[in-house]
Amino acid sequence: MRIALGIEYDGRPWCGWQSQTCGCGVQDQLERALAEVAGHAVRAHAAGRTDTGVHALVQVVHFDTTAERSLSAWARGVNAFLPGSVRVRWAKAVSDEFHARFSARQRSYQYLLINQPVAPAILDGKAGWHHRPLDVEAMSVAASYLVGEHDFSAFRAAECQAKSPIKHLYRADVSRLGDCILFNFCASAFLHHQVRNMVGALVYVGKGSHVPEWMAKLLQEKNRKLAPPTFAAGGLYLTGVDYDAQWELPECQRSLAAFALPLG
């Protein structure tokens, strides 16, 4: 039997999604909890990997089991064995043809940036921060150059293992909610550190170091050394995974706007 799960997690205590020998991955925590309920070892497969310190409002996972349990057991029961920073939000039985990673059509990320003179203590590790005023209109224009199919080598981490730097970005926009700035990105797949590197470049535009058209130049140059440093991991959230309707999965999209609005 194959079960799909929707999970959320606070990335601060963990070294990313992927299992590690020291057991510090979110995957390690989830597989340990699933094994407690299933009564046998379980391997969990996720829609996408997140790095150390990166959060997920929606991460979709699947696993196979020989144990017959209620969907409630795969959600509330598993949560009883998880640390408070990791939670299963829903569980659904799916066919063996479903794969959390390979059945996914698109993935969505949001980056939460606090734009005020003093870094907010209450959001330490949960948001990025920039102390000087940022021009959201200029950043929005710059973000528009990222939409479409491009070679994103200028925003690719040196350790990226992707076969090709060419990706199709379906959405890239920026909006302000009071002192909060939200960056939205959607693509079929992303390069390692691509979102955080794009945010870093957009902030340089926002603070006036470059004009919006500079973003198009970065794409054309395809040189990571010409782009700004990688922005902090704490503001990045996996917020959605798109699947065909045939899988009838529950909640697969959430937004930081609901959390950021009260802060604005």
pLDDT tens digit sequence for 152-162 = 999 999 888 88
Question: Checking DSSP bridges between strand 2-9 and strand 86-94, what pairing results, if any?
Answer: antiparallel
In a domain, 158, yes or no: yes
Are residues 113 and 228 both part of a single domain?
yes
Positions in the chain whose pLDDT score sits under 70: 259-264
Instruction: Spell out the residues 6+ positions from residue 94 whose beta carbon is closer than 8 angstroms to its own.
Output: 2, 3, 4, 62, 247, 249
Q: What pLDDT sits at residue 259?
A: 66
Are residues 17 and 121 both part of a single domain?
no
SS3 102: coil
Which domain-ending residue is among 75, 103, 131? 103
For residue 65, the domain's CATH number is 3.30.70.580
Are residues 83 and 153 both part of a single domain?
no
Are residues 78 and 149 both part of a single domain?
no
Residue-number span of the structural domain to which 227 is assigned:
106-238
Provide the residue type at 128 as one letter: G
Cβ contact 48:107 at 8 Å: yes
In a domain, 35, yes or no: yes
Are residues 99 and 110 both part of a single domain?
no
In a domain, 263, yes or no: no
Are residues 82 and 127 both part of a single domain?
no
Cα torsion angle, 89, 26, 200, 207, sign? positive
Are residues 36 and 128 both part of a single domain?
no
Q: What pLDDT sits at residue 260?
A: 54
Q: Check 10, 28, 51, 96 and give the catalytic one.
A: 51
Query: How many domains does one find in the chain?
Result: 2
Cα torsion angle, 17, 150, 143, 257, sign? negative
Which domain-ending residue is among 103, 135, 152? 103
Are residues 95 and 113 both part of a single domain?
no
| Rounded CA separation 175/110 (Å) | 11
Name the DSSP letter for residue 201. H
For residue 189, the domain's CATH number is 3.30.70.660
96 carries an active-site annotation? no
Are residues 221 and 110 both part of a single domain?
yes
Q: What pLDDT sits at residue 264?
A: 46
Which domain-ending residue is among 48, 80, 103? 103
Alpha helices (runs of H) in 102-193, residue ranges in sequence order: 136-144
User: Which residues, listed in sequence order, are joined to residue 172 by a DSSP beta bridge?
Assistant: 185
Are residues 10 and 87 both part of a single domain?
yes
Q: Where are the beta strands (DSSP E) in 155-230?
A: 166-177, 180-187
